[in-house]
A and B are shown apart, each in its own frame.
Chain A
Amino acid sequence: MSREQLAVQQARKAFLTGGSKPLEYRIKQLKNLNRFITERATDITNALRKDLYKSENATQMFEIIGLEGEINLAVSNLTEWAAPRPVNKTLLTISDEVFIQPEPLGVVLIIGAWNYPIAVTLQPLVGAIAAGNAAVVKPSEVSSHTAKVMELLSLYLDPEMYQVVTGGVPETQELLKQRFDHIFYTGNSTVGKLVMEAAARHLTPVTLELGGKSPCYIDKNCDIRIACRRITWGKYINCGQTCIAPDYILCESSIQDKVINEIQKCIQEFYTKDPKTFADYGRIINQRHFKRIMALLEGSTVVIGGDSDESECYIAPTVLRDVASGSKVMQEEIFGPILPIITVNGLNEAIQFINEREKPLALYVFSSSSKVIKRMISETSSGALLANDCLVHFTISDLPFGGVGNSGTGRYHGKYSFDQLSHLRSCLIKKLNMEGVNQMRYPPHTTEKLRWARVFLLKQVNLARWRQIAQVAMLAALAAFVMKRFLR
C-alpha cells in the first residue's frame, strides 16, 4: 500500500470512529491550530522567507492574521453554524419539524498552493475541521520549506484525523486515485481540470480556487493618485504572485502618463529606490517562473523597472505601457510583478475587452462615479468585484470567496467554508396522525381528490408573514394598553 493510500485510510478510519462529530472536539482542534501558528511563528516566518523572501511582518500581515481571524470566527460561531436550521413552513408541513441539518462529508482532500502557502492551505482546513470532517492536507511542494513546517501540524492536530502528506506530482496523482468526499484545490486551471477529472471517477464534489487575468479599470473620473496607490500595493505584494492581484490595467490614453507617474511614486515609497535590497520586497518562487515571467516582457515597452537578477529570482516592480492585446504578456495570467497598461476608449470598450476573455477571479474598477461601477458590475462577470481598492475583499469573511467559469467553482471563507465542506441535509419529521389529509394522494385517483391536492400544493400561505402580522398586532395592543393606563 502506498504512503498516500495509507494516509487516506487512516483518516477515514478516524472519521468513522465519530471522533470529529462533537463540537467540543472540533473547537479543540481549531484552538490547537491557532497554537500551531502562534507557537511556530518563527518556523513559519523563516520558511516563508526562504520560499518567497517574505518579510516577517509581511508573513504576519498576509498569511497569519487572516488565518487567525478565520479560526476565531469558526470557534465563536461553530455552535450556530452546526445547529439545525429551521425552514419556512407551509400548509402541508404546519405541524411538522422541517429543518436543514449540517453534517460532515467525511474525508476532505486539501491541495494547497505555494504563493500564500499557509493561508490557502490552512484556511480551507479551518472549514474542514469546523464542519466535522477528517482531512488530508497536501501542501504545495513548490514552497518546500513551508511544506516541511506544515508537517509539524501532527504535533498539534489529531494526527490520524488530519494527515499531512507532502510530495510532488506523483504523490498528488496517487492521492487523487483515492476516494474522498470533497476535494479542495487551489492552483491553476490546467491542474484544476485534472483534479475534477479524477474526482469524477468517485463522484466527488470539488472546490477549485483558480485564477485568471484580473482586470483593473481606471476611470478618468476618479482620484488617480489614491487609485494608483492601492493598485500598486495590490499588484506588487508578494511580487505579484497573488491569485487576485490586478493583472493588467485598462484606462484611457489621456490618463496613462499620470497613472504611470503615480505608480512610479508609490513603488518608490513602498519599496525604496532599490527594491532588490529592500526587506519587504519579495522574490519569484523559482527559476521556472522567473524565466516564464521574463519571457512575457517580450515585445512590450517597459516604462518602469524591468531589471532582474536570475541568480536571486529577482524581478523589479515593472510597468509596461501601450501594451497590445495580442502581446505575450496578455496571453496568460502573469502572476508576477509586471503591470501592463492597455489603453481603451472608455467604459464601453473596457467592458467589451473584459467580456471577450475568460471570467476572472476578481474584477477591479476605480471610479468616483457610482454609475460606472454599477454598469461594470451588471455588464461583466467575475468571481468577485471590488471597486476602488484591491485584494481586501479576501478578508471579508461574510463575502463568499471563489471563482466562476475558468476562475473556479465553489467558495469559502467564514461560514461559507463550513457550508461548502458540509452536507446540508434536508430533514422533514412528520407524525403518524392526520392520515385523513393524505387521502387525496392515494389511488384510486379521482377528480375530487385531485382538487384537494391542487389546493394543498398550490395555495401559498405565507406563514412567516402571518406570524409577523400577529406579533405587530400584539405589540400595538400592548402599547395601546400601556398608553391608556399610564399616560393619563
Chain B
Amino acid sequence: MSREQKAVERARKAFLTGRSKSLEYRITQLKNLLRFVRERQNEIAEGLKKDLRRSEFGTPLYETLGLESEINLAVRKLKDWAAPRPVSKSMMTISDQVYIQPEPLGVVLVIGAWNYPWAVTIGPLIGAIAAGNAAVIKPSEVSSHTSKVMEDLLPLYLDKELYPVVTGGVTETQELLKQRFDHIFYTGNGTVAKIIMEAAAKHLTPSTLELGGKSPCYIDNNCDLAVACRRIAWGKYSNCGQTCIAPDYILCDPSIQDRVIEEIKKNIKEFYTEDPKKCLDYGRIINERHFKRLMALMEGSSVAVGGENDESECYIAPTVLRDVKPDAKVMQEEIFGPLLPVLTVSGADEAIKFINQREKPLALYIFSSDNKLIKRMIAETSSGGVLANDCLMHFSESSLPFGGVGNSGMGRYHGKYGFDHLSHLRGCLIKQLKMEGVNKMRYPPHTADKLGWARFFILKHVDFGSVGRMALLALLAVFVAVILQRNYTD
C-alpha cells in the first residue's frame, strides 16, 4: 500500500470513530491550530523567506493574521454554525419539526498552492475541521521549505490521524487523487483543476476549485488617481504579483495613461525604495521556471517603469508596460508576476466589452467616484468577486464568500461559507404518526375530489412569518389604542 493510500485510510478510520463529531473536539483542534500559528511564527517566517523571500512582517500581514482571524471566528461561531437550522413552516408542516442539519462530509483532501502557502492551505483546513471532517493536507511542493514546516510541525499540534500532512510532487498527488474522498479542495491553476475534477468524477466527489485568471482593473477618468494608483500598486506588487486576485492588467482612457504610470511609479518608489532589489519588503519570483515565463511575457511590449531583472535571484523589478495590445504575449495568460500592463480603452463601454470577451476572472476591480458607473460595471460583467476602489481587501471579509466562476473556479469559502461548503446540509422533516386523516387526499384511488384538496394544501402558500408579524403589530395597535383612550377619557 502506498504512503498516500495509507494516510487516507487512516484518516477515514479516524473519522469513522466519530471523534471529530463533538464540537469540543473540533474547537480543541482549532485552538491547537491557533497555538501552532502563534508559537511557530519564526519557523513559518523562515520557510516563507526561503521560498518567496517574504519579509518578516509579510508573514503575519499576508498569511497568519488572516488565519488567526478565521480560526477565532470559527471557534466563536461553531455552535451556531453546527446547530440545526429551522426552516419556514407551511400549512402542511405546521405540527412538524422541519430543519436543516449540518453534518461532516467525511474525508476532505486539501491541495494547497505555493503563493500564500499558509493562507490557501490552512484556510480551507479551518473550514474542514470546523465542519467535523478529517482532512488530508497536501501542501504545494513548489514552496518546498514551507511544505517541510507543515510536515514537521503540524502533527505536533493537530490530531495526526485525522489531519495527516502528505508532501510530495506530481506523482504523489496523482496517487492521492486515485483515492476516494468526500470533497476535494484545490487551489491552483485551471489546467491541473481539470485533471482534479476528472479524478473526482470517478468517485462522484464534489470539488471546490479556487483558480485564477486575468483580473481586470478599470480606472475611470472620474476618480482620485493618486489614491487609486496607490492601492493598485500595493495590490499588484505584494508578493511580487504572485497573488490570485492581483490586479492583472489596467484598462483606462488614453488621456490618463501617463498620469497613471506616474502615480504608480511614485508609489513603487515609496513602497520599495529606489532599488527594490535591496528592499526587504519586496519579494522574489518563486522559481526559475516562472521567472523565465514572466520574462518571456514582456516580449513585444513597451516597458514604462522597471523591467530590471536578475535571473540568479529570480528578481524582477516592479514593472509597468504601456500601450499594451490585446494580443500581446502578456495578455495571453494570467501574469502572476510583477508586470502591470496598461491597455487603453475609450471609456466604460469598451472596457466592459473587453472584459466580456474574455474568461470570467476571479476578481474585477473598478476605480471610480461614480457609483452609477460602478453599478453598471457590476451589472454588465461577471467575475468571482468585485471590489471597487481598492484591491485584494475582499479576501479578508469573512462575511463575503470567496470563490470563482467559470474558468476562475467553483465553490467558495471563508467564514461560515467554509463551514457550509465542507458540510452536508441535510434536510430533516420529523412528522408524527397521527393526523392520518389529512393524508387521505394522497392515497389511491385518486379522485378529482382528493386532488382538489391536495392542490389546496400544496399550492396555498401561507407565510407564517408575516402572519406572526401582523399579529404583533395588531397587538401593538391595541395597546396604543388603550393608552390613548385612557388619556382622552381622563
A interface residues, Cβ below 8 angstroms from B:
55, 57-58, 60-61, 65-66, 68-69, 72-73, 76, 87-90, 92-93, 98, 100-101, 103, 105-106, 181, 189, 192-194, 196-197, 199-201, 203, 205, 208, 210, 222-223, 226-227, 229-230, 233, 269-271, 278-281, 366, 368, 370, 373, 377-378, 381-389, 392-393, 395-396, 398-401, 404-406, 408-411, 423-433, 435, 438, 441-447, 449-450, 453-454, 457-458, 460, 482, 486-488
Contacts and interface: CB of A to CB of B under 8 A. Distances in A.
Contacts of B24: none
B389 A432 contact: yes
Q: Summarize B's interface: helix, strand, loop or mixed.
A: mixed
Contacts of B378: 101, 425, 427
B73 A432 contact: no
B409 to A, nearest CB: 8
Contact of A368 (B197, B211, B433, B450): B433
A488 B234 CA distance: 65
A398 B382 contact: no
A296 to B, nearest CB: 23
B153 interface: no
A134 to B, nearest CB: 14
Interface of B: 21, 55-58, 60-61, 65-66, 68-69, 72-73, 76, 87-88, 90, 92-93, 98, 100-101, 103, 105-106, 182, 190, 193-194, 197-198, 200-202, 204, 206, 209, 211, 223-224, 227-228, 230-231, 234, 270-272, 279, 281-282, 367, 369, 371, 374, 378, 382-390, 393-394, 396-397, 399-402, 405-407, 409-412, 424-434, 436, 439, 442-448, 450-451, 454-455, 458-459, 461, 483-484, 486-487, 490
B200 A270 contact: no
A229 to B, nearest CB: 7
A61 B399 contact: no
A460 B72 contact: yes
Nearest to B228: A432
Task: Across the A-B interface, give the 9 residue pairs with the lowest CB-CB distance, nearest first.
Answer: A445-B57, A57-B446, A200-B197, A196-B201, A399-B427, A443-B281, A384-B427, A426-B400, A426-B385
A181 B410 CA distance: 11
Contact of B384 (A61, A222, A425, A449): A425
Q: Summarize A's interface: helix, strand, loop or mixed.
A: mixed
Contacts of B409: 203
Nearest to A56: B446
Contacts of B394: 426, 428
A192 B386 CA distance: 33
Nearest to A179: B406
B198 A200 contact: yes
A443 B279 contact: yes
B399 to A, nearest CB: 4
B271 A423 contact: no
A388 B431 contact: yes
Contacts of B400: 87, 98, 100, 426, 428
Contact of B429 (A88, A381, A392): A392
Given A233-B442, A385-B427, 6 more contacts: A192-B204, A389-B431, A398-B87, A400-B100, A450-B60, A487-B483
A395 B458 contact: yes
A226 B427 contact: no
Contacts of B100: 399-400
A378 to B, nearest CB: 8
B394 to A, nearest CB: 4
11 contacts: A57-B447, A60-B455, A69-B459, A203-B211, A424-B412, A425-B378, A432-B224, A442-B230, A453-B65, A457-B69, A487-B483
Given A429-B374, A460-B73, A399 B87 contact: yes
A69 B447 CA distance: 20
Contacts of A197: 198, 201-202
A192 B406 CA distance: 20
Contacts of A488: 490
A431 B458 contact: no
A92 B393 contact: yes
B333 to A, nearest CB: 16
A424 B69 contact: no
Contacts of A453: 60-61, 65
Contacts of A387: 428-431
Contact of B430 (A66, A373, A430): A373
A432 B105 contact: no
A413 to B, nearest CB: 9
Contacts of A201: 194, 198
A69 B486 CA distance: 49
